[in-house]
Structure 1
Amino acid sequence: MYKKQTVSSFYALFGGTFDPIHYGHLRPVEVLAQQLGLQQVILLPNHVPPHRPQPEASPWQRLKMIELAVANNPLFRIDTRELQSSNPSYIINTLKIIRQQQGLKFPLAFIIGQDSLLWLHKWHKWQSLLDICHLLVCARPSYNNKLINTELQQWLNTYQTDNIKKLNQQPKGYIYLANTPLLDISATDIRRRYHQNQCCDYLLPHSVQQYIKLQNLYC
């Protein structure tokens, strides 16, 4: 779990199944942190993701892979609260708890990928996200900023900003489309590669690859 932050600090949460965690998760977020002056990125692994198939690896195997992946990177910390719950991992509920715990004044952000932005209108109480935090969107290959859902597009048009100072000075309320590296890496493809005994070098940290082999994951 993370420690309480000071009002002047700016940090973000990054949720996902991380099945497994890979460089497509880590490297764009590292660039995003440099661009925006993020003090910390809190990795928030899901236990029961409500919008996608259930992970192949167990919650604690996924946690171990995350720990190995970020062991020497001070930017990242891990919050296990969703892994400790058997209920569906609705991010809006987690963000509300964190906001209540940390107070109303400091900047808080939630990181998603461009692919998730396209389906954000399917998320539980998605319209309330900006009442709690900023939304930081990492670029993904083969996706553009034009959204199919009209309501979601209007929401994006209303709250999008390129002003980094606003993100650092305001506690919530803005959407930032980041210019992050376009890495064509996905956990789905990595699992497929393992199923087919294909090489996954350069897709995820060596320590994670060793753990996958040790645990006979994705066979």
Structure 2
Amino acid sequence: MTLRVCYGGTFDPVHNGHLAVARAARDASGAQVFLLPAADPPHKGPTHASAQQRARMLDLALAGETGLKVDRRELYREGPSYTIDTLLELRHELGDELPLAWLVGGDSLSQLHTWHRWRELFAHAHILAVQRPGSHIDPESLARIAPLVGAEVAARWRTLDALQASPAGGLAVLPMEELRPESSTELRRRIAAAYSDWHEWVPPSVASYIDRHDLYSTPGPDSGSL
């Protein structure tokens, strides 16, 4: 069976960096990649756009993209959007045999031990960690930076291709060839400061949606100054 990759996040808003990661996961693995906007992200404060607005921007960004889809399931669940709850729901729907991977950034991998019931994640999915240019994810580095995570995954390292061979339990690395400048925080700052170059960071359809609904024009607590 073909690997399915899940890419969770706030996507507040979705930008070209998110799309580059999703495309890289699709192209490297041949998987379908589902982007899951969180309704109530447990590791972040309140979002700046509503859940439905963030999901709609994802719809616009992924229109016409082969192998990339939006999954809204976390928007319909009350309480914090815990990954373990999402994986349990997916397993109930998809069965126990489908290879399933949860896509995380390298920074999130080193913080995995702070996630709710984090050790249980491996019973239901693989973890696919994005390695940005200039960084390196390896057993020694991970054990030094995040000893609990390093110990848990010591016997779980796999190649990306090997994730197809089992439904869950592995850790693989997805290298990114190009360093992306985009971040949602910086993007919101640029929009609030009326910098016109922010349009280059998102698909045109998303830029039009942000302009039409006047999103992010008011500086938030993380906007700072430029």
Instruction: Compute the displacement of 1:144 (Å).
Output: 4.2
* Mapping of residues 1-219 of structure 1, within 5 Å: 8-38=1-31, 40-140=32-132, 143-145=135-137, 146-147=141-142, 148-162=145-159, 164=161, 166-181=162-177, 182-198=179-195, 199-219=197-217
Residue identity matched to 1:31 = A
- What is the root-mean-square deviation of aligned Cα atoms in Å? 1.5
Instruction: Compute the displacement of 1:163 (Å).
Output: 5.3
Structure (1 or 2) with the greater helix fraction: 2
Instruction: Compute the displacement of 1:141 (Å).
Output: 5.5
Deviates more, 1:153-162 or 1:14-23: 153-162
What is the number of equivalent residue pairs in this alignment? 210
Report if aligned partners of 1:159, 1:175 keep a CA contact under 8 Å in 2: yes
Distance across 2 between alignment mates of 1:91 and 1:52: 14
Report if aligned partners of 1:16, 1:44 keep a CA contact under 8 Å in 2: yes
Distance across 1 between alignment mates of 2:208 and 2:153: 41
Residue identity matched to 1:173 = G
* CA displacement, residues 102-127 of structure 1 (integer Å, 9 cap, x when unaligned): 11111111111112112111000111
Distance across 2 between alignment mates of 1:71 and 1:62: 14
Distance across 2 between alignment mates of 1:188 and 1:143: 21
Deviates more, 1:189-198 or 1:150-159: 150-159
Q: TM-score, normalised by structure 1?
A: 0.90
Deviates more, 1:28-37 or 1:88-97: 28-37
Report if aligned partners of 2:12, 2:49 keep a CA contact under 8 Å in 1: yes
Distance across 2 between alignment mates of 1:96 and 1:150: 26
Instruction: Compute the displacement of 1:143 (Å).
Output: 4.8
* CA displacement, residues 64-102 of structure 1 (integer Å, 9 cap, x when unaligned): 100100011121111111112231100101101111221
Residue identity matched to 1:47 = A
Which secondary structure does the structure 2 equivalent of 1:202 belong to? helix
Which secondary structure does the structure 1 equivalent of 2:127 belong to? strand
Could you tell me the percent identity over the aligned residues? Answer: 35
Report if aligned partners of 1:65, 1:211 keep a CA contact under 8 Å in 2: yes
Distance across 2 between alignment mates of 1:152 and 1:140: 19
Distance across 2 between alignment mates of 1:125 and 1:141: 30
Instruction: Compute the displacement of 1:184 (Å).
Output: 2.6
